[in-house]
């Protein structure tokens, strides 16, 4: 058992959280942490290094190769995991789609070099007529096309490239809150009449407005910082539910420095009236 887990079991929750907050403030370079900012999105973004650094791509590429070589169970954000874990709400959502559509064509928006695909490949192979399309930043797509494309995994620069592919679902996993105009992509899904959407690991606040923050990534993962928003849940859902309805939802046990809840949702396009 890790020392932090032992301390957490011994101390009252409030005391543990307070001590961890102090510790993280002292050892910021060792932890992921989120720093609220009064800057607008564009100004905050200009102060950040971003996700498109070449060194980050190289770490993600190396980690993906380790997974494919059987040296790790899966990777996320270049971090390798020894034990395979399926994300069952996602699996259940994909199974539901397959039963309705009799195929499974996934558009994984911001899916890196196939993190979620490789993590769930043992499950995905059970679906007939399955294809996993990843839309990512240009350098990731180029790398994916050159190194990781298969019969069932492909990489694309834009959603529009897939307009004729009869996509069943767009997966937005831990990605929308890193985008300046996230609803632009939801509007594209509506325009193309994508039957289903899956949101996962998306942070929400009960505050009336989005919270803009800077997320700092420690060097032990890769040293970077991103502008990130915590969505005002009421406003977000009002927009989303104009076109989609929730089939089911779930929460994640993720805690960051800004009070919020990370949620996932499985949604279906509303029928035209």
CATH code, domain carrying 155: 3.40.50.150
C-alpha–C-alpha distance, residues 199 and 266, integer Å: 7
Instruction: Report pTM.
Output: 0.87
Looking at the chain, the whole-number percentage of residues with pLDDT higher than 70 is 88
pLDDT tens string 52-109: 677 889 999 999 999 999 999 999 989 999 999 999 999 999 999 999 999 999 999 9
Contact predicate 156/144, CB 8 Å? no
C-alpha–C-alpha distance, residues 226 and 231, integer Å: 16
Residue of 115 and 224 predicted with greater confidence: 115
Does some domain include residue 10? no
**Exposed, middle or buried, 148 (CB in 10 Å: 0-12/13-18/19+)?**
buried
Taking residues 140-146, report their average pLDDT: 97
* Number of independent structural domains in the chain: 1
pLDDT value, residue 256: 86
Give the model's confidence band at 257: pLDDT under 50 very low, under 70 low, under 90 confident, else very high: confident
Residue of 52 and 232 predicted with greater confidence: 232
Does some domain include residue 25? no
Q: Which residues of 44-62 are buried (b: 16+ CB within 10 A; e: fewer)?
A: bbeeeeebeeeebbebbbe
pLDDT value, residue 218: 80
pLDDT value at 2 more than 90: no
pLDDT value at 15 more than 90: no
Does some domain include residue 122? yes
State the Rg of the chain over Cα: 19
Does some domain include residue 131? yes
Does some domain include residue 243? yes
Taking residues 196-204, report their average pLDDT: 97
Query: Domain range holding 175?
Result: 32-269
Taking residues 198-223, report their average pLDDT: 91
Residue of 14 and 39 predicted with greater confidence: 39
C-alpha–C-alpha distance, residues 224 and 54, integer Å: 11
Taking residues 9-17, report their average pLDDT: 64
Does some domain include residue 85? yes
H runs (alpha helix) in the chain: 3-10, 13-26, 41-46, 54-68, 88-101, 115-119, 121-124, 138-147, 183-191, 233-240
Residue 123: which residues within 8 A CB-CB, separation 6 or more? 86, 91, 94
Contact predicate 148/114, CB 8 Å? yes
Pairing outcome for strands 79-81 and 74-76: antiparallel
Does some domain include residue 20? no
Q: Of 124, 131, 186, nearest to 155 (Cα)?
A: 131
Q: Of 172, 146, 148, nearest to 159 (Cα)?
A: 172
pLDDT value, residue 1: 46
Does some domain include residue 6? no
């Amino acid at each position: 058992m890790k020392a932090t887990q032992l301390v957490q079991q011994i101390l009252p929750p409030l005391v543990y959280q307070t001590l961890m907050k102090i510790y993280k403030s002292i050892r910021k370079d060792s932890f992921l942490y989120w720093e609220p900012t009064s800057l607008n999105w564009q100004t905050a973004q200009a102060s950040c290094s971003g996700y498109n650094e070449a060194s980050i791509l190289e770490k993600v590429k190396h980690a993906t190769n380790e997974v494919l070589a059987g040296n790790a169970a899966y990777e996320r954000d270049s971090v390798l995991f020894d034990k395979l874990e399926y994300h069952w709400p996602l699996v259940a959502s994909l199974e539901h789609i397959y039963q309705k559509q009799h195929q499974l064509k996934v558009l994984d928006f911001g899916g890196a070099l196939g993190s979620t695909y490789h993590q769930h490949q043992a499950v995905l192979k059970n679906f007939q007529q399955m294809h996993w399309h990843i839309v990512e930043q240009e350098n990731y797509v180029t790398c994916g096309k050159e190194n990781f494309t298969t019969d069932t995994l492909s990489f694309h620069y834009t959603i529009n490239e897939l307009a004729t592919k009869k996509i069943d679902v767009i997966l937005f996993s831990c990605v929308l809150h890193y985008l300046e105009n996230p609803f632009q992509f939801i509007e594209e899904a509506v325009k193309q009449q994508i039957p289903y959407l899956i949101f996962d690991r998306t942070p929400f606040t009960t505050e009336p407005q989005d919270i803009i923050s800077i997320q700092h990534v420690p060097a032990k993962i890769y040293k970077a910082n991103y502008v990130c928003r915590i969505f005002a849940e009421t406003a977000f859902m009002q927009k989303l539910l104009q076109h989609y309805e929730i089939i089911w939802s779930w929460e994640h046990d993720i805690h960051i420095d800004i009070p919020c809840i990370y949620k996932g949702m499985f949604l279906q396009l509303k029928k035209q009236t």
